[in-house]
Structure 1
Amino acid sequence: MLLITFTDRIGSGLWASVSVLYFTYVSGLSIAQVGTLAAISGAVGIAGAPLGGRIADRFPLTRILIALQLLRATASFALLTTDHYLPLLAISAVGSLGDRASSVLTKLYATRIAGPARVRYQAVNRTASNAGWALGGLAAAAALTLGTTTAYRWLLAGDGLSFLAIALLTLTCAEPPSSSRLAADARTTPRKVRPASPWRDRMYLAFVATETILFLDDSVFQIGLPLWIAHTEGVPHGLAPLLLVLNNVMVVALQVPLARYGTTTAAARKLLVPLSAASAAGGITMALSATGGAAQAICLLTASAALFTLAEMLHAVASWELSVTLAPDTAQGAYLGVHGLAQSGQRSLGPLAVTAAIATGPLGWTVFGATIAATCALQHRLVRDRLPRSPLSVPPVTVSEH
């Protein structure tokens, strides 16, 4: 599955960095049409997470993943067949639906196959993801030096071919235990009865709402830092991509080592404290970057990027463990599908939040960091009563169960 993630992100890196340029220069869409296409396809994609999770509780997981990869491949190749707006909109929406569903089911696969090592497994998986994304982005940057329509089309075709490769690789993956099997194994340990549907579980929905805020670090790197740099006098615009490189390098180097601090539910909850501090400090250093000269601004922006990256990694560890622990064994797919709405919602809320911070000035970034910090405190209290009393993140295994 790690090779699958790596291949997936290479393809995504090829396409994500040039999609806006493709629709603009190859398909000939206007700025308004490109923006509307991205917004609508993103909105449709939101349904992919809960829909995929619900289906995964009823059918073999690997078969669903193969079907989703074939759907994503079909959408990618279909984009090559037309330059008309409405077909492009429909095809992009279908691809977005498959992307979000695939993301959630990949996490569910890791949860089922890795058992008590799921946090470390997800950390390694995320490292592979960042490495693949960086490689795909570098390949796309090299191809774009040609500046031809053919180069754009080959990048999109490369994305589609990556999905076909993933589907073939998934055929070699073992089917993980189903949710019903996991629930049967867990009956040896008494557990609190929880709602079967995440939509009726108010506590879990509140947890997902707080997660939406904690995922805002993604918009910091995609939108916030580049725009802030562009409006900070004396700071070279080339710093923005370098800070993205710093983000990727830190994740590749540190995500796995940090995972050992969140291998139990209690430890994962405690990570919300340093996560809160890193987020607040990131906002403050971003604000201070506008108060001095160019050299000071560059140093502070680099420090802010490092702090927000640390927050991102800590949140990844805590989020993986808590989102699974708070879900009943019999409905893990449905619950993780709803949890996937947090990232989808961030894609809509995030750009608004960071542009509001930029428009407000230094105070805006201070409030931005403080808001994430306060949300950490809220989530820390929110999940307290629902975490298992045992310090282990999974039910203990007896000799008879081997």
Structure 2
Amino acid sequence: MIAITLVDRVGSGLWASVSVLYFTYVSGLSMAEVGTLAAVSGAVGIAGAPLGGRIADRVPLTRLLPALQLLRAVASFALLTTDHYPLLLAFSAVGSLGDRAASVLTKLYATRVAGPDRVRYQAVNRTAANAGWALGGLAAAAALALGTTAVYRWLLAGDALTFVAAALLVLTCAEPPSASRVAATSKDAPRALKPASPWRDRSYLAYVATETVLSLDDTVFKVGLPLWIAHSDDVPHGLAPLLLVLNNVMVVALQVPLARFGTTTETARRLLIPLAAAFALGGLAMAFSATGGTATAICLVTASAVAFTLAEMLHATVSWELSVALAPETAQGAYLGVHGLAQSTQRGIGPIAVTAAIATGPLGWTAFGATIALTCGIQHRLVRDRLRRIALSVAPVTVSEH
């Protein structure tokens, strides 16, 4: 599955780097049309996580994942066939739906196959994903030097072909054991083993709501830092891509070593404290970067990037463990699908939150970091209370004396 993630993300790196340019220069869309297309496809993609997770409790992952990868491939190839806006909108939405569903199912596969080592497995998987993004991005940058419409089309075709390759690779994988699928398909299973519904689980839904806020680190690097630098008189614009490289290098180098600090539910919960500190420091560094000269601003923006990258890696470790540990084994797919809504939702609200912080200036960035830090504290308490309820719900075992 690690190799599959690498191949998948190479394709994503190819397309993410040129998607806006493709729709602008090849399809001839206006800026407003490109923005609407991205918003609509993102909104449709939100449904992919819970839908994919729910189906995965009933269907083998090694059959469902290839189907989703082929759906993404068909959607990408379909974009090459038309410049008609409604069709581009529809094909992009289908691709987004498949992307979000495949992301959740990849995590579910790791959860099932790795067992108690799931945090380390996911860390290695994420390292492979970042390496894939970097390779795809570099390939796209090199190809774009030619600047022809044919190059854009070949990059999109390359993206589609990586999904086909990923589908074929999944077919070679063994199906991991699944308590949720056994419970969902067995007519003789006890009522207590029937899959629970995450939509009726208020404490888990509250946890997912906090996860939406904690996932905003993703938007910081995609929107926040580049936009802040673009509107700064003291920071050279060339720093923006360098900070993205720094983020990528840090994740590849440190994600796996950091994973060992969150290998149990309790240690993962404790990581929420340093995570809160990292978010708060990132916001403060950005705020103070507007108060000094060029050298000070560069140092503080770089320090902020380091802090937010650390927050990104810590949150990934915490999230991998808690999202699974708080879900019942008989409904892991459904629960992880609902958990996937956090990442999907933040893609919609994240740019708004970050733009508001930038518009408000130093005070906005301070409030941004402090709000996420406070949310870490809220999640810390939510998880503690839920774990206590789970412990109390386990019937005590009595050993009779002879």
TM-score exceeds 0.5: yes
Corresponding position of 1:164? 164
Corresponding position of 1:268? 268
Structure 2: which amino acid aligns with 1:324? V
Q: Which moved more, 1:381-390 or 1:239-248?
A: 381-390
Distance 1:182 1:194, change over 3 A: closer
- Note if contact 1:183-1:329 (Cα within 8 Å) is conserved in structure 2: no
Q: Does 1:152 align with 2:144?
A: no
Alignment partners' CA distance in 1, 2:77 and 2:181: 38
Alignment partners' CA distance in 1, 2:97 and 2:290: 40
Corresponding position of 1:247? 247
Distance 1:144 1:270, change over 3 A: same
Corresponding position of 1:9? 9
SS in 2 for 1:261: helix
Corresponding position of 1:104? 104
Alignment partners' CA distance in 2, 1:294 and 1:162: 43
Residues 247-279 of structure 1, C-alpha deviations (whole Å, 9 max, x = no match): 000000000000000000000000000000000
Deviation at 1:110, TM superposition (A): 0.2
Corresponding position of 1:43? 43
- 1:337-348 superposed matches below 5 A: 337-348=337-348
TM-score w.r.t. the length of structure 1 is: 0.93
- Size of the alignment, in residue pairs? 384
Deviation at 1:180, TM superposition (A): 3.7
Structure 1: which amino acid aligns with 2:118? R
Corresponding position of 1:329? 329
Deviation at 1:179, TM superposition (A): 2.6
Structure 2: which amino acid aligns with 1:143? A
Alignment partners' CA distance in 2, 1:164 and 1:28: 28
Corresponding position of 1:123? 123
Alignment partners' CA distance in 1, 2:100 and 2:326: 21
TM-score w.r.t. the length of structure 2 is: 0.93
Corresponding position of 2:75? 75
Distance 1:132 1:347, change over 3 A: same
- Note if contact 1:2-1:125 (Cα within 8 Å) is conserved in structure 2: yes
SS in 1 for 2:380: helix
Alignment partners' CA distance in 1, 2:11 and 2:123: 20
- Note if contact 1:182-1:329 (Cα within 8 Å) is conserved in structure 2: no
Alignment partners' CA distance in 1, 2:317 and 2:123: 7
- Note if contact 2:180-2:332 (Cα within 8 Å) is conserved in structure 1: no
- Note if contact 2:59-2:181 (Cα within 8 Å) is conserved in structure 1: no
Corresponding position of 1:300? 300
- 1:1-400 superposed matches below 5 A: 1-180=1-180, 196-387=196-387
Alignment partners' CA distance in 2, 1:272 and 1:72: 35
Alignment partners' CA distance in 1, 2:314 and 2:156: 33
- Alpha carbon RMSD of aligned pairs, Å? 1.7
Residues 358-394 of structure 1, C-alpha deviations (whole Å, 9 max, x = no match): 0000000000000000000000001112227999xxx
SS in 2 for 1:383: helix
Moved over 4 A (4+): 181-184, 192-195, 388-391
Q: Which moved more, 1:231-240 or 1:92-101?
A: 231-240
Residues 35-66 of structure 1, C-alpha deviations (whole Å, 9 max, x = no match): 11111111000000000000000111110000
Structure 1: which amino acid aligns with 2:227? L
Structure 1: which amino acid aligns with 2:165? A
- Note if contact 1:4-1:170 (Cα within 8 Å) is conserved in structure 2: yes
Distance 1:364 1:76, change over 3 A: same
Structure 2: which amino acid aligns with 1:29? L
Alignment partners' CA distance in 2, 1:276 and 1:123: 20
Alignment partners' CA distance in 2, 1:130 and 1:157: 21
Structure 2: which amino acid aligns with 1:129? A
Structure 1: which amino acid aligns with 2:262? G
Deviation at 1:232, TM superposition (A): 1.2
- Note if contact 1:42-1:96 (Cα within 8 Å) is conserved in structure 2: yes
- Note if contact 1:194-1:328 (Cα within 8 Å) is conserved in structure 2: no
- Note if contact 2:183-2:193 (Cα within 8 Å) is conserved in structure 1: no
